[in-house]
């Protein structure tokens, strides 16, 4: 059965790669895209989303602009160091401005309207800070019972990327993450534990660029700047495509090894943004969720390449 998704994104480089992947996947139907600040500011993330759906030949997907700020903490838009100010690795100008515009509804309102109009049918796939999702929960708490599932890219129970323990999306708005993690809905966390296991190394990337269609050419332009932040030898000169992992999980959960456990989000202090695995349920305020702890990287990378090949 086709899964209807709302993709909530801070459209940077890996978000764009995830969009091209998802939009070419017959298992998924994008009922909408909602945008959030994160990799860069909200205006740019919204423009990028519109630009990518046009490039992917799907200009009619509604794009709802979301919030530009976290609930409580300040954002420094530190993601620009990896994604550039334009969120597209400095290559955005090569593609020109999008023709489309965002719809009138805010991201949070759009999420509420869509979920409540189709009970049990919509899967939320947030791959940025979780602010829009927390705002939607505030607007209409009954989305908890009416959503099909929530599959997020964010967090990590064994490592962080912006601090030793925190992953960027959770660190950007830990209070929103805390609300989303403790809501009690079916939540799958595709965090760094899994996403860091999938590496597109230079050979893989060259083969991908070699496909030479619209999607591959777009990806070829935006990746090199992003590649610069993956300096550690464990990345073998390549990149992690975090957000595509949430799409892969929405397409086929059997790609992942999943463990169910309580996870608590730290909102304050030195460990702000840490998604703490509370395996022995010591804290009353930890909620059980599904955590992706492993992934069949070979099958995933093959699927990604196949889907990118389907563009003209
Ligand atoms: C996450 O942070 C963002 O920079 C990426 O787009 C991804 O969603 C990885 O930590
Ligand atoms: Ca993202």
Q: Read off the pLDDT of residues 222-261 as tens digits, 9 standing for 90 and up.
A: 999 999 999 999 999 999 999 999 999 999 999 999 999 9
- This prediction has a pTM of 0.98
SS3 state at 65: coil
The residue annotated as part of the active site, out of 83, 84, 171, 242, is: 242
Residue 220 has pLDDT above 90, yes or no: yes
| Euclidean distance between the first and the last CA atom of the chain, given in angstroms as a whole number | 26
Q: Read off the pLDDT of residues 109-121 as tens digits, 9 standing for 90 and up.
A: 999 999 999 999 9
Ligand 1 pocket list (CB less than 6 A): 12, 14-15, 39, 79, 82, 127-128, 153, 161, 167-169, 242-243
- For the question of residue 10 being annotated catalytic, the response is yes
Residue 285 has pLDDT above 90, yes or no: no
Query: What is the C-alpha separation between 251 and 189, in angstroms, rounded?
Result: 15
Of the pLDDT bands very low, low, confident and very high (cuts 50, 70, 90), residue 75 is confident
Query: What is the C-alpha separation between 218 and 212, in angstroms, rounded?
Result: 9
β-strand 28-35 against 3-9: which pairing, if any? parallel
Share of the chain above pLDDT 70, in %: 100
Alpha helices in the chain (DSSP H): 13-23, 42-55, 80-83, 107-117, 131-139, 143-146, 168-172, 174-181, 192-195, 202-210, 214-227, 242-251, 297-309
The structural domains of the chain, ordered by start, are 3-308 (3.90.245.10)
Residues with CB under 5 A from ligand 2 (ion): 10, 15, 127-128, 243
């Amino acid at each position: 059965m086709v899964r209807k998704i709302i993709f909530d994104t801070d459209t940077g480089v890996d978000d764009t790669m995830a969009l091209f992947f998802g939009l070419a996947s017959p298992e998924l139907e994008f009922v909408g895209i909602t945008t959030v600040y994160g990799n860069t500011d909200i205006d740019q993330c919204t423009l990028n989303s519109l630009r990518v759906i046009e490039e992917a030949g799907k200009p009619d997907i509604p794009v709802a602009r979301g919030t530009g700020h976290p609930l409580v903490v300040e954002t420094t838009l530190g993601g620009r160091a990896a994604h550039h100010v334009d969120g597209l690795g400095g290559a955005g100008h090569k593609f020109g401005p999008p023709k489309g515009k965002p719809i009138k509804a805010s991201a949070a309102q759009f999420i509420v309207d869509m979920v409540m109009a189709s009970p049990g049918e919509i899967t939320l796939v947030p791959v940025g800070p979780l602010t829009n999702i927390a705002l939607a929960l505030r607007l209409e708490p009954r989305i908890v019972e009416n959503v099909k599932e929530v599959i997020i890219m964010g967090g990590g129970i064994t490592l962080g990327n912006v601090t030793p323990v925190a992953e960027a999306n959770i660190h950007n708005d830990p209070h929103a993450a805390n609300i989303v993690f403790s809501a009690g809905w079916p939540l799958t966390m595709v965090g760094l534990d899994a996403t860091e296991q999938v590496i597109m190394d230079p050979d893989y990337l060259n083969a991908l660029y070699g496909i030479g269609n619209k999607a591959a050419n777009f990806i070829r332009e935006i990746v090199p700047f992003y590649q610069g932040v993956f300096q550690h030898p464990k990345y073998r000169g390549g990149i992690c495509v975090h957000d595509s992992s949430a799409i892969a999980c929405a397409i086929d959960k059997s790609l992942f090894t999943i463990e169910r456990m309580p996870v608590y989000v730290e909102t304050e202090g030195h460990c702000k943004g840490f998604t703490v695995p509370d395996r022995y349920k010591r804290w009353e305020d930890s909620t059980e969720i599904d955590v992706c702890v492993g992934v069949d990287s070979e099958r995933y990378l093959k699927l990604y390449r196949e889907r990118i090949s389907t563009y003209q």
